[in-house]
Chain A
Amino acid sequence: MNNTDLDCLGLLCPLPVIKLAKLLPTIDIGDTITVLADDPAAATDIPAWCRLRSQELVTADAPRFVVRRLS
């Protein structure tokens, strides 16, 4: 399984979520993306995006969020 890093430090929401949404289809199902996002809104919005898009939030430890592609 592979991981891709996504550096969103300094970016304000919704940009981190937009970047995550665009990157997701480029990785294989089962692989992960590690997002670095320090906007306070990301702590709510990245987990909420995973729930809405039915993707797995592996860990959420701001500013580091690990998301696994499930579909």
Chain B
Amino acid sequence: MSERAYLDAASAEPLHPAAREMLLSAVDSGWADPVRLHHEGRTARLLLDNARAVLADAVGVRPDELYLTTSGTTAIHAGLTALTAARKRIGTTIVHGAVEHSAVLHTAAEAGVEVGVDTLGRVDLDAFTAAVQKPGVAVAALQSANHEVGTRQPIEAAAEACGDVPLFVDAAASIGHDAVPAGWSALAASAHKWGGPAGVGVLAVRKGTRIAPAWPMDEREDGLSPGFPDVPNILAAAAALQARQSEADELNRQHRVWIDELRHRVAADIPDVEVVGDPDDRLPHILTFSCLYVDGEALVTALDAEGFSVSSGSACTSSTLRPSHVLAAMGVLTHGNVRVSLGRTTTYDDIDRFAAVLPGIVQRIRAEVGL
């Protein structure tokens, strides 16, 4: 039995060693309520302020522009609803790309105007521009890059098209892995995507952007994230991002080369495979492809049995039995889908063994249905 190769870093990564070390010490030092005036409270407050400063610096904002939430999803919910509520006199429409994270789609719901994408997953910039320039738009939402296929979105051009309409950028797939272009009014990210703990999200709102929290407020995080903050995990999140960014140049360059190789080998070694997403203008660590006539669940299960952990956007692998909305919006094959995403502990051997084993598994599953 060979070693396992965990190739699903875009879903979750193990805690970065720097975060683990920070967490273990912070549970003993940062447990108190940071709004209290006593010694223990002031200690927790100091630690929280330090973590906020580190996270703000990494995201490229001032500490007073950065709010801490309880997940990436709550950062999206809080940010989008607060931006929308602050512009209710102008309108309620939320313009968004068709391949945004489900948290954006759930928030926009009936107020959403969806802008289509091309087969690479990139938003139609002309349609986006036309949509944001119509009257009644409260906010526009566009991800920095797609979490399922890796394609980067044209953030700078979108920001220019937005004019006075605030641009909300879900940067969860990019932070720690790829640079995020400027031009946004608000940005959300999630610590577990960069090797931090689950349960910590960040919401950056640039000064001058009006927000009106749209739920019961308390004194925490200017009302954007009610409830007692998890100071130890927030510190761990900051430690992880700081460490990840110091490794970023080397890791991201390595991941880009390995994904290029894997992309080439999958396309060359497996007949009837559709490799999806932009081959170049993309995140460094994600590769997605679909194998014709192959059941996605069977493929993920067979790969798992061989020691490879991957995710899939195929309908049979989701609880709702609906295919990934990202793949459907791109118009690419949704069955037999696999997403490979590399983490900081991925090795070349993992990639090499995966590329060697995959063609045989695909052939076996196809043979079972007589193809």
Contact = CB atoms under 8 A, between A and B. Distances in A.
Given A13-B314, A17-B292, A17-B293, 15 more contacts: A12-B315, A12-B321, A14-B294, A14-B295, A14-B369, A17-B335, A18-B293, A22-B371, A40-B315, A40-B323, A44-B323, A48-B331, A48-B333, A49-B292, A52-B292
Contact of A45 (B321, B334, B369): B334
A67 to B, nearest CB: 15
19 contacts: A12-B315, A13-B314, A13-B334, A14-B293, A17-B292, A17-B335, A18-B369, A40-B323, A41-B323, A43-B328, A44-B331, A44-B332, A45-B323, A45-B334, A47-B331, A48-B332, A48-B333, A52-B272, A52-B333
B333 A44 contact: yes
Interface in B46-81: none
A21 interface: yes
Interface SS of chain A: helix
A48 B321 contact: no
B contact face: mostly helix, strand, loop, or mixed: loop
Contacts of B333: 44-45, 48-49, 52
A18 B334 CA distance: 14
A18 B316 contact: no
Contacts of B336: 14
Interface of B: 272, 274, 292-295, 314-316, 321-323, 327-328, 331-336, 369-371
- Sort A-B residue pairs by CB-CB distance and give the 10 closest, nearest first: A14-B335, A41-B315, A41-B323, A48-B333, A13-B335, A44-B328, A41-B334, A40-B322, A44-B334, A18-B293
A45 B335 contact: yes
Q: Which of B272, B293, B314, B335 has the most CB of A within 10 A?
A: B335
B370 A22 contact: yes
B371 A41 contact: no
A15 to B, nearest CB: 8
Contacts of A22: 370-371
B327 A44 contact: yes
Contact of A13 (B323, B331, B332, B369): B323
A4 to B, nearest CB: 19
Contacts of A39: 315
Interface in A10-48: 12-14, 17-18, 21-22, 39-41, 43-45, 47-48
Contacts of B295: 14
Nearest to A39: B315
Contacts of A14: 292-295, 335-336, 369
B264 to A, nearest CB: 19
B315 A18 contact: no
Contacts of B294: 14
Contacts of A43: 328
Given A40-B322, A43-B328, A13 B316 contact: yes
